[in-house]
Amino acid sequence: MGDLLSYFIPDNKQVMQVYISNKNKTYLNYTGLEENYTIEVKLPLKIDYFGRLSDEFVTLLHCNSTNFYIHLGCKARCRSHDDTFTRVSSSMKDGFKFDESNNLTRKDCEAKCFDNCSCVAYASTNQVAQTGCEIWGTTDRFIGFSNPNARTIYFLTSALVNMVDLIININAYN
């Protein structure tokens, strides 16, 4: 919440924070002590697939092609809103594994991959609990789709399409 508010509140300005919660509504109210301004943030906040953060009335932050605030949750410049991940049962040689003590969920792992411009695939290191995170920066670590060590790996769809096209072309020449 602090990063979001730093986008709205000028640097080095003192504010008074008031948290209001009753049976009718819950919100945060920030009032400038040096200048006359008030920022009221209604709870709950929601963020949609396109990177728009909003309360029930107004968009507070909109990540778009000219507005990249990655520290505020916007997508990296190398990514498109059309980028998606495809779930595939396959095997890959070891990728980069994040420290298990980070307690990353599968969605946290997806965000790590999406924010890393070289990442083309990710997977939970603990397949049962869907925790932990391993990412790959290239599809040349790919082993195969059908083998005994297959697990659920989420590929950037564009990388998966390129990889499948390459496999088809290699098989066509054999």
User: How high is the mean pLDDT of the chain?
Assistant: 71
Percent of the chain with pLDDT over 70: 52
141 — pLDDT class (breaks 50, 70, 90)? confident
Average pLDDT value for residue range 70-77:
56
| Res 71: pLDDT | 43
| Res 148: pLDDT | 75
Is 15 strand, coil or helix? strand
CATH number of 85-173: 3.50.4
* Predicted model pTM: 0.56
Average pLDDT value for residue range 147-159:
84
Is 39 strand, coil or helix? strand
Its sign, for the CA torsion 46, 47, 52, 53, is positive
Strand 151-156 and strand 121-123: the pairing is antiparallel
How far apart CA 93 and CA 83 sit, in angstroms, is 24
| Res 159: pLDDT | 80
Terminal-residue alpha carbon distance, the chain: 56
Its sign, for the CA torsion 139, 145, 147, 148, is positive
| Res 154: pLDDT | 92
Its sign, for the CA torsion 73, 79, 84, 88, is negative
CB burial string 128-143: b at 16+ within 10 A, e below: eeebbbbbbeebeebe
**Does residue 124 or residue 29 have the better pLDDT?**
124
Is 129 strand, coil or helix? coil
Percent of the chain with pLDDT over 90: 9
Q: Which two tokens stand for residue 29?
A: 């109210």
Q: What are the structural domain ranges in the chain? A: 2-72, 85-173
SS3 content of the chain, % helix, strand, coil (to 5): 25, 35, 40
